[in-house]
Structure 1
């Protein structure tokens, strides 16, 4: 009976020993041919134990750095910086120089309310011109040698209204009377019948988008002027297209055909 109990205990211990051996196999990596752990290079097996003397130290697997969450104020700064950048790009896109053509000129119908000789220049007239605004504009024109003073009074004309104001013999001129001009003769352009002060002059195919004030350095008018001509019938044109007041007719010179407009 006693011997039977001893055998049972021995078998139980043998089973426990086998379990312990299997457990140790799982915890201790098997050596490779080069004496390096079978784990991948530079890696450690999870929960691997290293022996230091008689003590055991658990080696934890490497943990990747968690992403650092940005602070609310940092996110706001980043969003604001991005918004400013987008607006800057948008501003650059919308600030591109428009094409240089007659659409950049503010051409309007005006009526010369009063004209008189310039006190300090024999070749100049001083005019008060109604161009459809609250008050008349002062205009200085070098037309004394070409148009009699009496023909200036109450006359309808076409004026360039977005030239930069400039002083002429001490008087600031705020527009320019457009004329057909040859070496021997100058005629004020005539708007179509039925026109009133403030009517806008258009050229088909060239959308009207005048500068607020023409920049003298960009020489917009100087670039456009060579293509402003009267045709064979005396009609004022830009690159062959008539200058017109929509619904009323075309702008023309009384007698001068095939000449430049200034």
Structure 2
């Protein structure tokens, strides 16, 4: 139901919508655990949600050209399928990226917003995601998670504290000082929404605060979707980080430097 639409007489839809908004707002603001960040240098991670075939074919190579690696969040029910905006990378891409040193992360099996899933339903869905990925990458452990569509709730955030090593949100900002590992801030790396001036400011802030900047995007193409990045924008972010002495790492390695077990 669109925002603001009239609801049925008993008000159930209003309650559900209000509850979802409240739950997400609490997840944004209330950490269930925090970690004092001990990284000796500023850090940057590139993350790809869903992840489209172009992220595998183009995005990974751009990062590798600088001697770095990224994090690719896989929704396993969609692997190899054509979606509205792109074709999702296939199962072979998961294994290929892993062999090349990239991180494979969790993104649920069903790609549903987690805030309206019951606890048992969410746990089963995430378990299916893990099983499918471990069939493709035997021995995969200590996975990070990305919230589908960025929506969370306190209940699912609490569950993720024991089901995943850490979880990335879409809440913008640079992570610095104390980290909420169950709701890591991230900034969208998208041509339609990130100017060069904003990119420079984010990189400068990361250096000044000795923080951790996490970029999230989807497809990588000369004419990307509104959710994606062009090679030019990715190159600007990569080169801008390296010029400033920012270390580029997949999320798992950044978490090691930060001091998260």
TM-score, normalising length from structure 2? 0.22
> Hey, which of these two has a bigger chunk of helix by percent?
2
TM-score, normalising length from structure 1? 0.22
Larger radius of gyration: 1
